[in-house]
């Protein structure tokens, strides 16, 4: 049976992981958090001293995922999307959260005031590092990145501010998955 591949993208704290895990649980699709995959496989290409984090080796990540993506039935969770091959995904969901909600979520995760402010300011000049960046939400950087990387008709925005929106998003995606499976397996 053919199964679709789904990309969940958005800034840290928008709810990609919560949505992805719950969606995988209900749909039977395989969930992959690219950050965790990179950490487990040490898929890095150096260290960024300014941002105090490892630099993702995008080519190695793509190589690592290629076979699974070819088989289908995978939900990918990552804050960026422009390095994934367009052929991989049948649909892309960009999660959006209001900045005040996002700020509180990141604060709850233990982000210091200094780190939060640095992340807000870094986007003003350029998008050097998309992760941990609230300003991305203001400029819709990730949505624009998704529409530039994939056909516009497969890119959709989902609001992710309240718990009830999570359930709405899961239901909406499950309906899409069910219809896609029906259309491609008859």
Convert the pLDDT of each residue in 31-69 to its tens digit: 999 999 999 999 999 998 876 778 999 999 999 999 999
14: DSSP letter: S
Residue appearing with tokens 């939060």:
116
* Residue 111 host element (H or E): none
pTM of the model: 0.84
Which pLDDT score is estimated for 80? 86
* Residue 153 host element (H or E): none
Which pLDDT score is estimated for 112? 64
Which pLDDT score is estimated for 125? 33
b vs e for 43-79, b when ≥16 Cβ sit within 10 Å of the residue's Cβ? bbeeeeeebeebebbbeebeebbeeebeebbbbbbbb
Which pLDDT score is estimated for 13? 85
Which pLDDT score is estimated for 97? 87
Which pLDDT score is estimated for 53? 79
Query: Which segments in the chain show pLDDT lower than 50?
Result: 120-132, 135, 137-139
């Amino acid at each position: 049976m053919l199964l679709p591949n789904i990309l969940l993208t958005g800034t840290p704290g928008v709810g990609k992981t919560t949505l992805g895990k719950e969606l995988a649980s209900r749909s039977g699709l395989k969930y992959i958090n690219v950050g965790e995959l990179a950490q487990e496989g040490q898929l890095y290409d150096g260290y960024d001293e300014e941002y105090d984090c490892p630099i993702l080796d995008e080519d190695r990540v793509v190589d690592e995922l290629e076979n699974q993506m070819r088989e289908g039935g995978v939900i990918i969770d990552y804050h960026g999307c422009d390095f994934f091959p367009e052929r991989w995904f049948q649909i892309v969901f960009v999660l959006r959260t209001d900045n005040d909600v996002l700020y509180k979520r990141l604060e709850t995760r233990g982000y210091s005031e200094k780190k939060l402010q640095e992340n807000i300011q870094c986007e003003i000049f350029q998008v050097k590092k998309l992760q941990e960046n609230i300003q991305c939400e203001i400029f819709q950087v990730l949505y624009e990145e998704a529409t530039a990387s994939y056909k516009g008709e497969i890119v959709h925005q989902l609001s992710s501010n309240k718990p009830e929106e999570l359930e709405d998003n899961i239901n909406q995606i499950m309906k899409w998955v069910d219809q896609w499976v029906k259309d491609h397996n008859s």
